[in-house]
């Protein structure tokens, strides 16, 4: 279970970095993004620790952690994979040009992201 908490902490840091890159390029915007993830993580941890002593099963906590880790990994992978494309689309919008449609290679990257996420999640299961 300790391994899952460590993996969840690493996934939370990755998610905070991704959120920070999505917020405005101001110091306040970056802190808002990081604080958002920290508050959500603290709430989830307190809920998990609170339910651990009650009737909640250990399997429920494990499943919740795995879902969080998987979602964070996938979101971080997609952000890294599409950051260049996304910036180009933002520039096109600023210039008044139409946004490009997704191509087959973009969908392939999304499916590969799911495969990688599952491959990372299997040893944690």
Residue 57 has a pLDDT of 58
Residue 48 has a pLDDT of 66
Average pLDDT of 78-87?
Answer: 89
Residue 52 has a pLDDT of 56
93 sits in which H/E element: helix 58-94
Q: Is the pLDDT of residue 15 over 80?
A: yes
**Dihedral sign of CA atoms 68, 72, 75, 78 in order:** negative
Residue 22 has a pLDDT of 76
Residue 92 has a pLDDT of 93
d(CA 2, CA 18): 24
Q: How does pLDDT run across 31-47, given as a tens digit for each residue?
A: 777 787 778 777 767 76
Q: pTM of the predicted model, to two decimals?
A: 0.72
Residue 58 has a pLDDT of 61
Q: What confidence tier does 50 reach under pLDDT thresholds 50, 70, 90? A: low
Residue 30 has a pLDDT of 73
Ramachandran sector of residue 96 (left: φ over 0; alpha: ψ -120 to 50; beta: rest)? left
């Amino acid at each position: 279970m300790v391994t899952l908490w460590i993996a969840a902490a690493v996934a939370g840091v990755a998610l905070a970095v991704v959120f920070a890159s999505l917020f405005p390029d101001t110091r306040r915007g970056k802190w808002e993004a990081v604080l958002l993830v920290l508050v959500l993580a603290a709430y989830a941890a307190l809920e998990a620790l609170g339910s651990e002593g009650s009737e909640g099963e250990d399997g429920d906590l494990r499943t919740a952690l795995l879902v969080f880790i998987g979602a964070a990994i996938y979101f971080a992978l997609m952000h890294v994979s599409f950051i260049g494309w996304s910036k180009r689309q933002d520039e096109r919008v600023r210039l008044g040009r139409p946004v490009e449609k997704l191509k087959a290679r973009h969908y392939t990257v999304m499916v590969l992201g799911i495969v990688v996420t599952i491959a990372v999640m299997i040893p944690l299961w």
